[in-house]
């Protein structure tokens, strides 16, 4: 009898602490929720990213007093990179005055794309998510600048061709795409297939099932094929395993190129010296020698408000988190300038800001991020902007950008992207809006 009383006591406490209606955010703050994964299998990538976001928004608050004088409030929600938990987070946070959300997972992005226009929340999937959503005429609320997976894959092919000595030299070459068997990993396939036809290289697609610890069969095939290039679309533990396997079969590491979610410190350090020479695509530079890092040291870390380990600043994902935060805040700034606001903008206004974002070299310089990322311009019909990719290489200690900025093959990607957008829009009953009528 007694232990049951106990039991009901526990139950009663749990029920009593049930969530009450979510409190509304203070009105003169820009509320940006962060979906993060600091626990679970993908935490090694999630932590630096989330810290980058925190640090940059903190910096804005400390250094500039927010965006044009309006402070930024962030709230983290843990998703463990799990779609269902991500949706729970989104539902919980969307009513708090959210203007923009960064899902940080292709799976969660797919969930949020249909909800975005209904709930009026900007979804910014920076360099991930659904490629077709770059057609802003159908997806006004979704942005994936600076680049999509398809543009990235085309930039990879261009890079490989450059090393080989020209696009015509690709003929007869063997390229293998090793991908995470999920929407994320499959994204690059249509572009690679198209380019294989156009430039007559042999493309082999090898899927690796989630989570990707088991790749023996894949690399056996790679050994048999002996490809000239390998493009890797991996995530989390899959990358480290792939890099290790590649070095253990003696594959030329400088011919193994990851996409930009396969090129961080946590992907190469476990493979030790074997990882030296491994390359990956990127759209920004790594390293902590930019002016923004000085500002961070002064305004954030100097006041003991830093989120990351100080000596680890400059990690690929920390920089990426900061860049993502910067793109968010610059879009919001654009909206605030346009609507002449001294208070937090509404979601519609922020959407306009994203769509008319024009990040110039001068502005980047002012932000202390010159050289970290290229200037970018977003338009109503082109939500991936005019971003360019670069290739970085692991030298055993750090990631270094080794190529020039590579212009993706927009002539190949854009028409396919528009076709895909029509398909995706049909599923959601979207109609095309006329961009010439947008103000």
Q: Is 269 in the site for other proteins (CB under 8 A)?
A: no
8 phi, psi to nearest 5 deg: -70, -30
Site for other proteins in 374-433 (CB under 8 A): 420, 423, 427-429
Instruction: State the minimum distance, in angstroms, from the CB of residue 315 to other proteins.
Output: 17
Beta strands at 390-394 and 399-401: parallel, antiparallel or unpaired? antiparallel
Site for other proteins in 191-220 (CB under 8 A): 207, 209-210
* CB neighbours of residue 371 within 10 Å: 16
For other proteins, which stretch binds (CB under 8 A), given 136-144, 153-161, 176-184, 222-230?
Answer: 176-184
Query: Tokens 């795409």 label which residue?
Result: 177
d(CA 361, CA 67): 19
Q: Is 225 in the site for other proteins (CB under 8 A)?
A: no
Site for other proteins in 16-45 (CB under 8 A): 17-22, 36, 38-39, 43
Q: Is 7 in the site for other proteins (CB under 8 A)?
A: yes
Q: Which is nearer to other proteins, 6 or 405 (CB)?
A: 6
Instruction: State the minimum distance, in angstroms, from the CB of residue 432 to other proteins.
Output: 18
For other proteins, which stretch binds (CB under 8 A), given 61-69, 177-185, 341-349, 398-406?
Answer: 177-185
Site for other proteins in 124-153 (CB under 8 A): 130
Q: Is 242 in the site for other proteins (CB under 8 A)?
A: no
Which secondary-structure segment (H or E) carries 355?
helix 347-355
x/- string (CB under 8 A) for other proteins, residues 64-103?
Answer: ------------xxx-x--xx--xx--xx-xx--------
184 phi, psi to nearest 5 deg: -60, -55
Instruction: State the minimum distance, in angstroms, from the CB of residue 35 to other proteins.
Output: 10
d(CA 48, CA 37): 10
Q: Which is nearer to other proteins, 117 or 375 (CB)?
A: 117
Cα distances (angstroms) measured from residue 348 to each of 29, 100, 358, 361: 16, 10, 18, 27
d(CA 60, CA 68): 10
d(CA 285, CA 260): 11
Alpha helices, H only, 30-137: 43-59, 83-93, 106-119
Cβ-contact 173, 164 below 8 angstroms: yes
Under the rule (CB under 8 A), what is the footprint of other proteins? 3-4, 7, 10, 14-15, 17-22, 36, 38-39, 43, 47, 76-78, 80, 83-84, 87-88, 91-92, 94-95, 106-107, 110-111, 114-115, 117-118, 130, 181-183, 186-187, 189-190, 207, 209-210, 420, 423, 427-429
């Amino acid at each position: 009898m007694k232990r049951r009383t106990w039991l009901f006591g526990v139950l009663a406490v749990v029920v009593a602490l049930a969530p009450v209606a979510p409190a509304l955010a203070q009105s003169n703050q820009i509320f940006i929720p962060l979906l993060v994964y600091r626990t679970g299998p993908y935490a090694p990538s999630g932590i630096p990213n989330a810290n980058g976001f925190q640090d940059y928004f903190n910096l804005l608050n400390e250094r500039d007093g927010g965006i044009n004088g309006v402070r930024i409030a962030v709230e983290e929600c843990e998703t463990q990179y799990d779609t269902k938990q991500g949706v729970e987070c989104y539902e919980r946070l969307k009513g708090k005055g959210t203007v923009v959300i960064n899902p940080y997972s292709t799976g969660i992005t797919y969930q949020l794309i249909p909800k975005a226009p209904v709930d009026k929340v900007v979804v910014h999937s920076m360099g991930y998510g659904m490629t077709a959503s770059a057609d802003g005429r159908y997806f006004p609320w979704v942005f994936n600048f600076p680049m999509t997976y398809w543009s990235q894959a085309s930039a990879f092919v261009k890079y490989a061709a450059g090393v080989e000595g020209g696009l015509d030299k690709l003929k007869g070459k063997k390229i293998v795409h090793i991908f995470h068997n999920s929407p994320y990993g499959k994204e690059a396939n249509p572009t690679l297939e198209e380019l294989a036809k156009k430039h007559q290289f042999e493309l082999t697609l090898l899927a690796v099932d989630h989570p990707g610890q088991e790749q023996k069969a894949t690399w056996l095939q790679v050994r048999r094929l002996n490809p000239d290039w390998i493009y890797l679309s991996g995530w989390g533990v899959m990358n480290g395993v792939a890099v290790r396997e590649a070095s253990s079969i003696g594959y030329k590491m400088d011919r193994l190129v990851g996409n930009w979610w396969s090129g961080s410190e946590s992907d190469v350090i476990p493979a030790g010296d074997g990882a030296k020479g491994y390359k990956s695509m990127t759209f920004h530079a790594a390293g902590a020698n930019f002016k923004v890092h000085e500002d961070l040291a002064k305004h954030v870390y100097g006041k003991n408000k830093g989120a990351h380990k100080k000596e680890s600043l400059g990690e690929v994902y920390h920089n990426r988190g900061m860049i993502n935060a910067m793109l968010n805040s610059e879009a919001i700034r654009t909206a605030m300038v346009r609507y002449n606001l001294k208070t937090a903008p509404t979601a519609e206004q922020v959407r306009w800001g994203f769509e008319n974002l024009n990040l110039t070299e001068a502005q980047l310089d002012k932000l202390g991020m010159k050289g970290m990322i290229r200037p970018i311009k977003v338009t109503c019909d082109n939500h991936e902007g005019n971003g360019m990719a670069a290739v970085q290489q692991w030298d055993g200690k750090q990631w270094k950008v080794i190529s020039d900025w590579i212009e993706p093959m927009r002539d190949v990607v854009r028409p396919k992207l528009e076709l895909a957008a029509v398909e995706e829009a049909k599923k959601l009953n979207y109609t095309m809006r006329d961009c010439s009528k947008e103000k």
